[in-house]
């Protein structure tokens, strides 16, 4: 069975290996010992905290194969972004240049630097190692976060975003960044991306164009990738769109990948989740359907994907003894759950 749990300091080596495998453009996992260690410490502090509102806590989870004890994936939640340092995006808008006398009317797309998402919750750092891919593991890593947020709503903002990786090649070259580099930054995309990932964002305010950028002045290659995702990110985008996420015109300042958003109360898995006490019954559980389950703890959080049977009459959910052990719960304890497959 594969479980999801809070990261601990003992997971450092696994997290470093994941950071190396994730590659260029995966800003939230820089290959840097000090920063990864700090990331783990922040997560441990977040899971131990008891906030009454989101204050910038950083929750990082890992997926573990219980048969081998190996960590095979990770995903995270930032409870409120931009509170400690600036959180930048470009917003895609339009300006109109019009002359009634000359009968000329031109609409031009522009990109405006902004901090509009300050204070929102961000889901991030989703990565499943290649050898572990297949089945529902990737979806499990993503969707359990919606269950966790729904169970502990006081810890998170109502507005939830996800930054999607934009277009770049295997060497890390980004068509969008190449234009910015030529005219403003004089540093390549991997360097800029790495500096941002380690928290060194002063250069953005210092060097970024201070006025809106007219899109038609960009190179054709740069224009073509605005709002587009990396080919490896398309499945993740489709999954979030199925959950109700959409892009409202915000893109990343480095690779122009889209940022998608949704209200927590409208996210399909969160909205469709239920909370019930459990009965431990192997035979009844085996006759049920596969669901994502979480316990109701924070510091001792556990999540599994397994068969359960819901009794509407008794308002209980039957789970197996093994699943109860993995979740660290006893009969009568509550779980929050959502189906793997919704019936439309």
Which residues are catalytically annotated?
230
* β-pair partners for 316: 311
Are the C-beta atoms of residues 306 and 318 closer than 8 Å to each other?
Answer: no
For the record, the structure tokens of 331 come out as 């009969």
Q: What is the 3-state secondary structure (H, E, C) of 276-311?
A: EEEEECHHHHHCCEEEEEEECCCCCCCEEEEEEEEE
Angle (CA) 94-160-151 rounded to 5° is: 165
Nearest to 177 by CA among 24, 22, 21: 24
Alpha helices in 181-281 (DSSP H): 189-197, 202-207, 220-225, 234-243, 268-271
Rounded to whole angstroms, the Cα distance separating 313 from 292 reads: 21
**Burial class of residue 330 in the structure, from the number of CB atoms within 10 Å of its CB (0-12 exposed, 13-18 middle, 19+ buried):** exposed
């Amino acid at each position: 069975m594969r479980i999801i749990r809070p990261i601990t300091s003992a997971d450092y080596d696994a997290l470093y290996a994941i950071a190396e495998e994730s590659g260029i453009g995966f800003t939230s996992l820089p290959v840097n010992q000090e920063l990864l260690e700090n990331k783990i410490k922040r997560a441990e502090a977040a899971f131990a905290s008891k906030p009454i509102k989101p204050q910038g806590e950083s929750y990082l989870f890992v997926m573990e194969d219980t048969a081998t004890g190996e960590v095979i994936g990770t995903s995270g939640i930032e409870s409120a972004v931009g509170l400690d340092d600036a959180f930048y995006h470009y917003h895609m808008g339009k300006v109109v240049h019009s002359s009634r006398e000359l009968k000329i009317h031109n609409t031009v797309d522009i990109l405006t630097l902004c901090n509009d998402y300050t204070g929102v919750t961000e889901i991030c750092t989703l990565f499943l190692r290649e050898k572990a891919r297949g089945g529902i593991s990737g979806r499990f890593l993503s969707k359990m976060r919606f269950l966790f947020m729904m169970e502990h709503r006081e810890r998170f903002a109502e507005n939830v975003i996800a930054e999607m990786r934009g277009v770049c090649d295997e060497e890390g070259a980004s068509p969008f960044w190449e234009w910015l580099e030529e005219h403003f930054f004089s540093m390549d995309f991997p360097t800029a991306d790495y500096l941002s990932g380690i928290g060194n964002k002063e250069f953005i305010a210092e060097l970024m164009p201070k006025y809106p950028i007219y899109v038609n002045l960009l190179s054709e290659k740069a224009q073509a990738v605005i709002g587009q995702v990396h080919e490896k990110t398309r499945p993740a985008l489709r999954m979030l769109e199925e959950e109700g996420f959409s892009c409202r015109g915000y893109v990343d300042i480095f690779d122009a990948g889209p940022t998608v958003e949704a209200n927590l109360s409208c996210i399909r898995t969160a909205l469709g989740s239920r909370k019930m006490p459990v009965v431990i019954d192997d035979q009844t559980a085996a006759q049920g359907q596969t669901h994502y389950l979480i316990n109701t703890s924070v510091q001792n959080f556990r999540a599994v994907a397994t068969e359960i049977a819901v009794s509407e009459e008794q308002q209980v959910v039957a789970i197996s003894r093994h699943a109860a052990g993995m979740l660290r719960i006893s009969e009568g304890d509550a779980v929050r759950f959502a189906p793997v497959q919704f019936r439309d």
